[in-house]
Amino acid sequence: SIKGGTGSFRLNELVSVPRELQPVLDAMRSRTMSASPRAVSVLLDALDQLRLMVAAAKNGDGPVDEARTRSLIEALTALAPA
């Protein structure tokens, strides 16, 4: 898994997005949450951000847009079932 792999390689900044993606995806898989247009949009945005974060880590670049990452984490948290 991305979450486990990033922790293993000490890429802690990459753990934040998968940690918040997991409960949303789990809820959709178990059908306790619908794949609404808003939820799908947030998931796709989060995956795009995660791709940028992985590329930055791979290339040794600095952190990607941290404000965007925080905003996506907030949006994922708001989507996640209580």
pLDDT for position 57? 82
Query: Contact at 8 Å (CB) between 16 and 69?
Result: yes
Tens-digit pLDDT profile for residues 50-74: 899 888 888 887 778 889 989 999 9
Cα 51 to chain centroid distance, Å, stands at 10
Half-sphere exposure of 31 (CA within 13 A, CB side): 0
Question: Is residue 45 very low, low, confident or very high in pLDDT (cuts 50, 70, 90)?
Answer: very high
Average pLDDT value for the chain = 84
Buried b (16+ CB within 10 A) or exposed e, 35-73: eeeebeebbeebeebbebbbeebeeeeeebeeeebeebb
